[in-house]
Amino acid sequence: MTEALPTIAILGGTGKEGKGLAYRWAGAGYPILIGSRQTEKAQSAVAELRKLLPATVYLEGMTNPEAAQQAGILVITVPFAAHRATLESIREYAQGKILVDVTVPLVPPKVSRVQMPPAGSAAQEAREILGEGVEVVDAFQNISYEHLLNDEPVECDVLVVGSSKAARTEVLKLVQAAGMVGWDAGTIENAVVVEGLTSVLIYLNKQYGVESSGIRITGIPRD
């Protein structure tokens, strides 16, 4: 089984988003490489995750470029301020692969207000930086990561948008493997909705006094 699953590099994988996704995917049998700017930080995140997972999982910590080079699918989970530099550091190792962009281009302090970068969205910026040889797909922007490490169900659907249908289909498998419901929501131009929705949800959390508002797609039968 495990041999058939691609290795996933989680770039900037030492934060709650990266650790939460790594936990779910490692538990589902995917080999996981946690990347960070510093090897020690990545290894420390791996040690933390190992305590929560069976001994059979494959998890390693290394630098972002090392992780990108060794993986078949790349996932970037960094604050927007580190988005460009992280992508530039792994550009040559990303060619021919899928990059899953989890970044939300929040502009503190007004994080409940949509403010997109000049490219139109973080995903479109990633595509500009990496070039047409890399398929860029947005996913997981709208979920609350606290639920992932606690094995709690995620009460938020995952909208998947990106530069090709084939890449979106691959990423939908990762959404399901992480225990969530995903939807192919169209081309990379739709990334502004997926990323901007995070600001709307942050606003709703504040406005209605909750911690993890989300969305659920209605009107489509579920499996």
* Strand 158-162 versus strand 135-138 pairing type: antiparallel
Q: Does 189 bind a second copy (CB under 8 A)?
A: yes
Q: What single letter denotes the amino acid at residue 210?
A: V
Residue 39 tokens read as 């090897």
Cβ closest to a second copy, residue 75 vs residue 185? 185
Cα–Cα dist 88/165, whole Å:
25
Q: Does 180 bind a second copy (CB under 8 A)?
A: no
Measuring CA to CA, which residue among 100, 103, 85, 5 is closest to residue 37?
A: 85
Q: Does 214 bind a second copy (CB under 8 A)?
A: yes
203 beta partners: none
Instruction: Report how far apart, in Å, the C-alpha atoms of 41 and of each of 2, 89, 137, 188 are.
Output: 26, 17, 26, 32
Residue range at the interface with a second copy (CB under 8 A); choices 12-20, 73-81, 97-105, 193-201: 193-201
In this chain, which of 78, 106, 129, 185 binds a second copy, going by CB under 8 A? 185
Interface positions, 110-139, toward a second copy (CB under 8 A): 112-116
Residue 20 Cβ vs a second copy, minimum distance, rounded to whole Å: 17
Residue 151, phi-psi category: left (phi > 0), alpha (psi -120 to 50), beta (remainder):
left
Cβ closest to a second copy, residue 53 vs residue 215? 215
Binding site for a second copy (CB under 8 A): 112-116, 144, 155-156, 159, 161, 183-187, 189-190, 192-193, 196-197, 199-200, 203-204, 207-208, 210-221
